[in-house]
Amino acid sequence: MELKGKVALVTGGGRGIGQGIALALAGAGADVAVADLDLAIAEETAAKVEATGRRSLAISVNVAQPDSVRAMVEKVEAELGDLDIAVNNAGIISIQSIEELTAEDFDRIMAVNAKGVFLCTQAAVRVMRPRRWGRIINVASIAGKIGFPDLSHYTASKFAVIGFTNAVAKEVALDGITVNALCPGIVGTGMWRGEDGLAGRWREEGESEEASWARHQKTLLPQGVAQTPEDMGQLAVYLACAEHVTGQAIAVDGGCTL
Ligand code: NAI
């Protein structure tokens, strides 16, 4: 699979899954812009992309803000060239029971995970449609396919991403643009690991974070082991190359949603 001459953009690319996807796209030959709320970590990933021999660019963005998203795409096109592949990966999580979830918490998650994907997809389609070629990859989740307790707001946001992806895929299908959702299972990024990650928060009495992480892999995943950012990168490269796969929500989850 070959992406030489293509220009990609990965939001939330400063770390975790986004970084894995950015490096995989670069490995397949694409030049990759790395956008993140945290410019310093976007610059670190951009340096890693450049170390592979590809061109890169670090951009500060808040995907929940229309002006910021518009400026991001303008910058990519001005500095790297026509945008071919948009990976809308930035996302956030929090853990709250349905009783304690506030309207503000709900809005905050939806603003980044659902509205952010809408704004980034719209900005990408606006430049891709006149050129009649594009690949849009929206990072959803296994929580876009099944519900998880204490994550009702996060689950709602990821179901929204999958429905949105399906609808836009049909809207642009005649214009050479594919739109798919990539659904990670459990990946040991900052979202899961550490005291504030899901493994830290979902500990049993007296359990270490490490033991909680091991338990969740065993209980949630038929394969028993977590996926990696590199696994997500492999699927992203495939979706960036594939011509006739569109409107799909593909899980890389070790069988979690079987
Ligand atoms: P992470 O927390 O390690 O990285 C997320 C990145 O997004 C960070 O660099 C952060 O600065 C950036 N970001 C957050 N809000 C932003 C905003 N408003 N604008 C721009 N950038 C922003 O998370 P991870 O695990 O790499 O997650 C990436 C995506 O994968 C998310 O959409 C997440 O929901 C999804 N996912 C992750 C899973 C996991 O097990 N880690 C499982 C399923 C889905």
Residue identifier of the C-alpha nearest atom 31 of ligand 1: 91
pLDDT at 1: 81
Q: Which amino acids bring their CB within 6 angstroms of ligand 1?
A: 11-12, 14-18, 36-38, 41, 61-64, 89-92, 112, 116, 139, 141, 184, 186-187, 189-192
> Predicted ipTM?
0.99
Strands (E), the chain: 7-11, 31-36, 56-60, 85-88, 134-139, 177-184, 249-252
130 Cα to the center of ligand 1, angstroms: 30
Nearest atom in ligand 1 to the alpha carbon of residue 190 is: 3
**Cα separation, 124 vs 33, whole angstroms:** 13
41 Cα to the center of ligand 1, angstroms: 13
Nearest atom in ligand 1 to the alpha carbon of residue 17 is: 26
Q: What is the mean pLDDT of each run of 10 residues along the chain (258 residues)?
A: 96 98 98 98 98 98 98 98 98 97 98 99 98 98 97 98 98 98 98 96 96 97 98 98 98 96
**What is Dmax (Cα atoms) for the chain?**
58
Q: Which of 170, 87, 166, 175 has its CA nearest to residue 124?
A: 87
Q: 60 - beta bridge partners?
A: 36
174 Cα to the center of ligand 1, angstroms: 31
pLDDT at 21: 99
Q: Give the predicted TM-score (pTM) of the model.
A: 0.98
pLDDT at 242: 98
pLDDT at 115: 99
